[in-house]
Amino acid sequence: MSFADRTFTDTFRDSLKDEGKLQESIALYEQSIAQNPNSPSAYHNLGKALQQNGQIAEAVACHQKAILLQPNFTAAYFPLMYAPLPKDSPLIDSLVALYREVIEILPNFPLAYINLAVALSKQGKIQESIALFQTAVRLQTVASRPQLSQVEWNWASSREAQLSRRESADFIIVGSPRCGTTSLYKYLTSHPQILSAAHKEICFFSEHFNKGIDWYRSHFPPSIDGHHFLTGEATPTYLTHPLAAERLHGCLPQVKLIVILRNPVDRAFSHYQMLVRRGTERRSFEKAIGSELQLLAGATETSLEDRNHWKDCHYIYKSLYACSLKPWMKLFPREQFLILQSEEFYAHPAATLTQVFDFLDLPDFPLRNYQKYNGGDYQPADDAVSQRLREYFQPHNRKLAEYLNSVGTGFTHRWL
């Protein structure tokens, strides 16, 4: 098959998958594997389609096969890292064995260490996962900053860290999901004075707080004598988590917080499409929105502040930005926040980055290009459903504008 033919066929399969014709798409990916059984991308693409179809175990097996065929096939590691597997799943044991095998073959490949650390963390093997995260951080830092290969790295305990210049993150992007946080984090960590965490979304202050502060700190490079670097993470679900703000304030009261907000209708639909791709959402968008609107029908301003009550409302509640921001701004001073707008960020990325670097007290660092990361390619939402959402969000958007103006952020949006 020619390159042009393969490109057309892959595009056709993906278009079927995007249109929800999963069984046809899966059949075509299986045909592709039959024709080219040594293609890691074929197994990876089949794995993505199977996961969207809710076949998690089969999807995991496909991504594992892709890695066995090509141990440094980066794309296959991420769906395995975020696969919705319970901590007692036997699939985790098979993943642990796979990652150990990759490390034997590629001892300087950071993703294998990160994925192994994540898998062991699920199994409660915290100390071993800490050592693996530290190894991964050093490997990926030296790969991007070769000048640091000869310096001594001192991983202090949490008590020692309290006396050092850095306990962990200098900044955190706390929200919101599907608003451009992946692109923003990628751009920020391109700055020569910003070092990346082991991976973008650590979810410590939401899902993994019980693993302890040393587990969290192992995701970041330590302070390095003679060098001035910042580091941080981006977990956009922190913003709406009922306990994240208090936990974060208790651990890192001086941290700088970045929030990026998007037209709530667009954000809700993008979030829906993400969960469809992950295989955890099987309803139509209309039914999913109708269900959340019914749940929210009797909500009052007071009840909306109970974020624990609405934790399963993925689409609408997570777009009620004023409700999410207020608890954070009660704990942290205004000067520790930078609030951005997605539409401005994507229209003028260089100007937005200049603003962020200034907030972090760093010199400007223009990039050569501003590629969008973790975007979605899907058909637009039904006009009637979108209009229904616009009407619902209109008073909440006004409250957001009033609230942010009252605390002096200078934030303006075009969503009304």
Residue 153 lies in a domain: no
What is residue 354's three-state secondary structure? helix
Give the chain's domain count.
Answer: 3
* 244 and 385 together in one domain: yes
Residues 255 and 368 in one domain: yes
CA neighbor of 225 nearest in space, from 278, 289, 148, 298: 148
User: What residues make up the domain containing 36?
Assistant: 31-80
Look up the CATH number of the domain holding residue 75: 1.25.40.10
Q: Are residues 122 and 217 in the same domain?
A: no
- CA–CA separation, 408 and 398 (whole Å): 15
The one-digit pLDDT tens for each residue of the chain (416 residues) are: 433 334 434 444 444 544 458 899 999 999 999 999 999 999 999 999 999 999 999 999 999 999 999 999 999 999 999 999 998 999 999 999 999 999 999 999 999 999 999 999 999 999 999 999 999 999 999 999 998 988 888 776 555 554 444 568 999 999 999 999 999 999 999 999 999 999 999 999 999 999 999 999 999 999 887 788 999 999 999 999 999 999 999 999 999 999 999 999 999 999 999 999 888 899 999 999 999 999 898 888 888 877 777 877 889 999 999 999 999 999 999 999 999 999 999 999 999 999 999 999 999 999 999 999 998 888 999 999 999 999 999 999 999 999 998 988 877 777 75
Q: Provide the β-strand partners of residue 171.
A: 232, 256
Residue that is written with structure tokens 């704990």 in the block: 331
Same domain, 191 and 51: no
Name the token pair of 393: 């969000």
- Tell me which residue of 131, 343, 361 sits closest to 352, measured CA to CA: 343
Which CATH number do you get for residue 383? 3.40.50.300
